[in-house]
Amino acid sequence: MMNQIHSIKGVKDILPDESGAWQYIQQKARDIFHTFGYSEIIIPVIEFTELFSRSIGETTDIVEKEMYTFDDRDGKKITLRPEGTASVVRAYIEHNLRDTAPFSKLYYIGPMFRRERPQAGRYRQFYQIGAEVFGIGHYMIDAEIISMLNLLFDSLNIKGVELQINSIGCPQCRPAFREALKGFFADKTSELCDNCKRRFEFNPLRILDCKSTHCHALSEKAPKTVDYLCNDCLTHFNGVQESLKTACVPYINNPKLVRGLDYYTQTTFEFIGGTLGAQNAVAAGGRYDNLVAELGGPSTPAVGFSIGMERLFSLFDSSNVTKQSPSVFIVALGEQAQQQAFSIIIQLHKEGISTVMDYNGGSLKSQMRKADKLNSAQVIIIGEDELSKGVVVLRDMQSKAQIDVPIAEVVNRLRK
């Protein structure tokens, strides 16, 4: 026997019995996004590394240690995308989408790659469903995009998910907060984890996002971003909250919600799944008013989010999603019957009637068992008797009623 080859650690297969529910979730997302005026953008899986280091930030976990980066044959550094926003922004700038519409509402669905430690809810290839809006700075669009996510979760009957929101201010007011935070942690640095010791120097906001329980406890009494917001940011944040109330979207304030990517400004939010364990954020996002300009485009306000598909899937009750099963199973007994069956199945496929047949043959009993197993609604049986009479037996698997149907009429009959 040859050695068996396994999949790579941290990636997974979506098997046929799950893929129906997987598609169902994505279709729901598409339908709801379309209702809100979003169009799909299909972005590449590989980009120049610089796109991510510049947008996500050099001192973030993703860029420092999680990216799959390789040298292309011409020496250029290429990265498997760890997230979607950077690519959407690049495409928005590259194709001058700003000139083609007053504002852009875009969504994407696809795999992302991060070399993290694989564990429950954390994969190295995982899927995201994300949405971005470019060209609207008003607080109401923040509330609208959050309410869109909320509607998606409701329509998928997802229970026990809590929306947390915060505002991390803008380049005008964040320096003061940063200083206050550094002041707060200055006499605690020796107690911080190694990661946060470095964050203290380069990116102190990220200490608030640390998953270590000790750092978490240390930051309990840390200054709150909302106490340092400038007037514009405060007005914006209050507006988001009022609008969420109008939209009847429940939320709680989490003053420590700073998000792990550097490009956010003002609003940040996460949907936390109560039953998800340590990796509990099922969706996350926020406003990023400076990213388009930072990547070389015209100054453009923007807001977006991304859903972790695997985590959403694990919260979803797929038992109500009907499994794919062929409507018709053809049982043919003997070589001649099989020839007849083959011409029938070809016509049924052309009519778009999902039909299968086991060309391996076998007894009536064994083939009926297969039809049953596949959950087919109808079975066509053709044996020598039927052939000589020019008919097939059509069996309704639910009522168990059987009738003879002339061969020439069977396709027509099933079409109805």
Is 84 a binding residue for ligand ATP by CB under 6 A? The answer is: no
Which x/- pattern over 291-330 shows residues binding ligand ATP (rule: CB under 6 A)? ---------------x-x-xx-------------------
In the bound state with ligand ATP, the residue whose beta carbon lies nearer, of 117 and 400, is: 117
DSSP 105-158: EEEEEEEEE--PPPBTTB-SEEEEEEEEEES--SHHHHHHHHHHHHHHHHHTT-
Is 273 a binding residue for ligand ATP by CB under 6 A? The answer is: no
In the bound state with ligand ATP, the residue whose beta carbon lies nearer, of 314 and 347, is: 314
Q: Which stretch binds ligand ATP (CB under 6 A): 119-127, 223-231, 289-297, 352-360?
A: 119-127
**18, 47, 116, 358: which one binds ligand ATP (CB under 6 A):** 116
Is 241 a binding residue for ligand ATP by CB under 6 A? The answer is: no
Nearest distance from C-beta of residue 324 to ligand ATP, angstroms: 26
CA distance 376 to 349: 15
Is 114 a binding residue for ligand ATP by CB under 6 A? The answer is: yes
Nearest distance from C-beta of residue 415 to ligand ATP, angstroms: 44
Is 284 a binding residue for ligand ATP by CB under 6 A? The answer is: yes
Is 63 a binding residue for ligand ATP by CB under 6 A? The answer is: no
**33, 107, 108, 126: which one binds ligand ATP (CB under 6 A):** 126
- Alpha helix segments (H runs only) across 247-390: 291-294, 309-315, 335-350, 364-373, 384-389
CA distance 160 to 225: 27
Burial class (CB in 10 A: 0-12, 13-18, 19+), 298: exposed
Both tokens assigned to 304: 């977006």
**Strand partners of residue 284:** 270, 306
Write the CB contacts of 204 (distance below 8 Å, at least 6 apart in sequence).
178, 181, 182, 185
State residue 188 phi and psi, 5-degree precision: -120, 5
Query: Which residues here bind ligand ATP, judged by CB under 6 A?
Result: 83, 114, 116, 121-123, 126, 128, 260, 279, 281-284, 306, 308, 310-311
